[in-house]
Structure 1
Amino acid sequence: MSALQGIRVLDFGRYVAGPYCATLLGDFGADVIRMERLEGGEDRGIAPVPDSGDGALFLQMSRNKRSVAYDPRAKGSAAMVERLIADADVVVVNVPPSALGKMGLDYASLKRIKPDIILANVSSFGPNGPWTDRPGFDSVGQAMCGSQYLSGSGDTPYRTPITWVDHATAVYAAFAVMVALFERQNSGRGQEIDGSLLGSALAFSSTFLIEQALTGLGRTAIGNRSFLNAPTDTFAAKDGFVVTQVVGDPIFRRWAQLMEEPHWLEDERFSSDEKRGENGEELSARMARWVAERTVAEALDQLAAARIPAGPVLSPQQALEHEQVQAMGLIHHLDHARLGRSVPLTRAPINLSETPAEIRRPAPGVGENTAQVLGEAGYSRDEIDALAASGAIRVAG
Structure 2
Amino acid sequence: MTRQPALAGIRVLDLGRYIAAPFCANMLANEGAEVIRVEPPEGGADREVMPVGQPGRGGLYLQVNANKKSLSLDYAKPEGRAVLEKLIATADVLIVNLPQKALMKLRLDYDSLAAIKPNIILTTISAFDAGGKDRDRVGFDGTGQALSGAMYLTGFGEAPTREAVSYVDYATAMAAAFATMSALMDRARSGKGQHVQCSLMGTALTMMNAMLMEEASGFRTRRPIGNRSPIAGPSDLFRAKDGWVMIQIIGDPMFSRWARMIGREDLLSDPRFASDSDRGENGEALSAIQQEWCASRTVEECLADLAAARLPACPCLTPAQTLTMPGFEDYTEILPVGDGLPLVARSIRTESALATPRTLAPLLGADSAALLDALGIAAEEQARLKAQGII
TM range (shorter): over 0.9
1:333 counterpart residue number: 334
Q: CA deviation at 1:49?
A: 1.6
Deviates more, 1:5-14 or 1:370-379: 370-379
2:183 counterpart residue number: 180
Out of 61, 64, 67, the residue aligned to residue 64 of structure 1 is: 67
Deviates more, 1:248-257 or 1:295-304: 295-304
1:278 counterpart residue number: 281
Matches within 5 A, 1:1-397: 1-326=4-329, 328=330, 330-336=331-337, 340-353=338-351, 355-356=353-354, 358=356, 360-393=358-391
The residue type paired with residue 34 of structure 1 is R
Helix, strand or coil for the counterpart of 2:336?
strand
Q: What is the CA–CA distance in structure 2 between the aligned matches of 1:294 and 1:309, rounded to whole Å?
A: 17
Deviates more, 1:90-99 or 1:50-59: 50-59
Change (3 A) 1:68 1:354: closer
Helix, strand or coil for the counterpart of 2:380?
helix
Unaligned 5+ segments in structure 2 are: none
Unaligned 5+ segments in structure 1 are: none
Q: What is the CA–CA distance in structure 2 between the aligned matches of 1:377 and 1:144, rounded to whole Å?
A: 45
Residue deviations 1:238-264, cap 9 Å, x none? 111011111111111111111121101
Q: CA deviation at 1:356?
A: 2.8
Helix, strand or coil for the counterpart of 2:135?
coil
Aligned residues: 388
Q: What is the CA–CA distance in structure 1 between the aligned matches of 2:249 and 2:16, rounded to whole Å?
A: 41
Q: What is the CA–CA distance in structure 1 between the aligned matches of 2:344 and 2:386, rounded to whole Å?
A: 35
Does the aligned pair in 1 maintain the 2:272–2:282 contact within 8 Å? yes
Structure 2 length normalisation: TM-score? Answer: 0.96
Does the aligned pair in 1 maintain the 2:5–2:351 contact within 8 Å? no
Does the aligned pair in 1 maintain the 2:76–2:106 contact within 8 Å? no
Does the aligned pair in 1 maintain the 2:75–2:83 contact within 8 Å? no
Q: CA deviation at 1:165?
A: 0.2
Does the aligned pair in 2 maintain the 1:67–1:369 contact within 8 Å? yes
Does the aligned pair in 2 maintain the 1:65–1:363 contact within 8 Å? yes
Q: What is the CA–CA distance in structure 2 between the aligned matches of 1:113 and 1:359, rounded to whole Å?
A: 31
Does the aligned pair in 2 maintain the 1:238–1:292 contact within 8 Å? yes
Q: What is the CA–CA distance in structure 1 between the aligned matches of 2:34 and 2:358, rounded to whole Å?
A: 11
Runs of 4+ in 1 over 6 A off after TM superposition: none
Does the aligned pair in 1 maintain the 2:38–2:72 contact within 8 Å? yes
Deviates more, 1:61-70 or 1:73-82: 73-82
Q: CA deviation at 1:355?
A: 4.8
Q: What is the CA–CA distance in structure 1 between the aligned matches of 2:355 and 2:219, rounded to whole Å?
A: 44
The residue type paired with residue 360 of structure 2 is P
The residue type paired with residue 272 of structure 1 is S
Q: What is the CA–CA distance in structure 2 between the aligned matches of 1:74 and 1:164, rounded to whole Å?
A: 35
Q: What is the CA–CA distance in structure 2 between the aligned matches of 1:357 and 1:248, rounded to whole Å?
A: 40
Does the aligned pair in 2 maintain the 1:97–1:126 contact within 8 Å? no
Provide the identity percentage.
46
The residue type paired with residue 188 of structure 1 is G
Does the aligned pair in 2 maintain the 1:35–1:68 contact within 8 Å? yes
Change (3 A) 1:354 1:16: closer
Does the aligned pair in 1 maintain the 2:232–2:277 contact within 8 Å? yes
Does the aligned pair in 2 maintain the 1:63–1:359 contact within 8 Å? no
CA-based RMSD: 1.4
Does the aligned pair in 2 maintain the 1:97–1:133 contact within 8 Å? yes
Helix, strand or coil for the counterpart of 1:207?
helix
Does the aligned pair in 2 maintain the 1:348–1:357 contact within 8 Å? no
Q: CA deviation at 1:44?
A: 0.8
Q: What is the CA–CA distance in structure 2 between the aligned matches of 1:60 and 1:255, rounded to whole Å?
A: 40
Helix, strand or coil for the counterpart of 1:192?
strand
Change (3 A) 1:348 1:178: farther
Change (3 A) 1:213 1:311: same
